[in-house]
Amino acid sequence: MSDILADGSSATLYDPMSTRDFERLGDIIEQHCGIRMPATKRTMVEGRLRRRVKALKLSSLHEYCRYILDEGALDAELVNLIDVVTTNKTDFFREMEHFRFLSSVGLKTLMQLPHGPGRDRPMKFWSAACSTGAEPYTLAMVLREFERTQRSFRFEIYATDICTEVLAQAKLAVYPESMASTVPPDLAGRYLRRSRRRDNPTLRLVPEIRQAVRFGHLNLMDPEYRMPTDMDVIFCRNILIYFDKPTQKAVLDKLCRHLRPGGYLFVGHSETVSSLDLPIVQAATAIFMRR
C-alpha cells in the first residue's frame, strides 16, 4: 500500500515519518502526558506506531498522522497513541534500597506519628506511575512481611498509570518467570506461584498480594488528581526524567498536596528534585519527607 503525499511522491507503511509529522506528534504527546519526544526517539516511535497503522488499516505513518492530526480522530485515538509511545520497564524490588529503607526505618517512623497510620487507620500508599504493577505488588509483599511482625498493622495501596494497556496487565498479575530473579527467595516462596506450562513459563502473585492493590487510570498532567489527600507514602519513580523542569515542579507540587506531613515521597535514583522549591526535606537517597 502507498499514500500519495502533497509533493506527488508516495509513502508506504515502512517509510520513515517526516520531520514535520514527528514534531507535530511530539507536541501532542508532550501536551497530553508531559513526555518529551526528542529526535533520538524517532525510530522507536515509528516502530511502535506501525502497529497502530496496521490496526487501523492505514497505508503509512504519514496517513496515520494526517488521520489523527488533521481529520479529527485524535480524541478517539489518544489512549492508543499514549499506550504505544510510553515506555514501561519495570521489575520487582527495583531500586532495592528504597524497600529496605521502608522496612527498617520508614514504616516504624510513620507508625509513631500522632495521627496513627497503620494503627488507628490504614497506612496509605500510592504508586503514581505503576506500569505493569511490579512496584505496587512489591510494596504489598513488603507490607505483608511487616504485618507478620505487627499484627494490628493495616494498609491500603493505590496504583495508577496513564497507560490503559499496562493497567490491564497489572490487574492480571501474571509475569514472565524471569522476573522472579529479583524477588528474595523467602518472599518468592510465599507470594509467587509458577505456572506448570513449560512452553510459556510464567508466575502469578498469590491472592493476598493481588487483592491488596487498587488500580486506576490517572494522567499526571491532569490539573487535579482524584486521589485521597492523606497519603502516607507516594512512589513516583523513573517518570520525572521524561519531563522538563517546569512539568516536574507542577507534578511534584500536586503529589505533595496528597501527602500527609511526615509522609514519604520516593523518586528514582537518577532523578533530582533538590533544585525545585517543594515542601519536602531529604530523608535518604531519592527519599523525601513532607514538611
183 or 9, higher pLDDT: 183
What pLDDT does residue 9 have? 47
Give the three-class secondary structure for 261.
Answer: strand
CA angle 206–207–211, rounded 5-degree value: 130
Residue 2 in this model has a pLDDT that exceeds 80: no
How many percent of the chain have pLDDT more than 70? 95
* pTM confidence score: 0.86
- What CA–CA distance (Å, rounded) separates 252 from 126? 14
DSSP code per residue over 98-128: HHHHIIIIIHHHHHTSTT-BTTTB-EEEEET
- What CA–CA distance (Å, rounded) separates 285 from 267? 9
Give residue-wise pLDDT tens across range 44-76.
899 989 999 999 999 999 999 999 999 999 999
- Categorize the per-residue pLDDT at 90 as very low, low, confident or very high, splitting at 50, 70 and 90: confident
- What CA–CA distance (Å, rounded) separates 39 from 119? 51
Residue 129 in this model has a pLDDT that exceeds 90: yes
Residue 99 in this model has a pLDDT that exceeds 90: yes
Cell numbers found for residue 110: 510513620
Catalytic residue among 3, 21, 91, 161: 161
Q: First-to-last CA distance in the chain?
A: 60
Give residue-wise pLDDT tens across range 141-158.
999 999 999 988 999 999
Residues forming beta bridges with residue 264, ordered by sequence position: 233, 289
Give the three-class secondary structure for 1.
Answer: coil
14 or 236, higher pLDDT: 236
Average pLDDT, stretch 260-281?
A: 94
Reading phi first (left if > 0) and then psi (alpha if -120 to 50, else beta), residue 66 is in alpha
24 catalytic, yes or no?
no
Residue 6 in this model has a pLDDT that exceeds 70: no
161 catalytic, yes or no?
yes
Residues forming beta bridges with residue 287, ordered by sequence position: 266, 284
Q: What DSSP element (H or E) covers 213? A: strand 213-217
Catalytic residue among 24, 42, 48, 210: 48
- Average pLDDT for the chain: 91
Cell numbers found for residue 151: 499484627
Give the per-residue SS3 of the chain.
Answer: CCEECCCCCEECCCCCCCHHHHHHHHHHHHHHHCCCCCHHHHHHHHHHHHHHHHHCCCCCHHHHHHHHHCCCCHHHHHHHHHHHHCCCCCCCCCCHHHHHHHHHHHHHHHHCCCCCECCCECEEEEECCCCCCHHHHHHHHHHHHHHHHCCCCCEEEEEEECCHHHHHHHHHCEEEHHHHHHCCHHHHHHHEEECCCCCCCEEEECHHHHCCEEEEECCCCCCCCCCCCCEEEEECCCCHHHCCHHHHHHHHHHHHHCEEEEEEEECCCCCCCCCCCCCEEEEECCEEEEC
- Categorize the per-residue pLDDT at 82 as very low, low, confident or very high, splitting at 50, 70 and 90: confident
- What CA–CA distance (Å, rounded) separates 31 from 57? 27
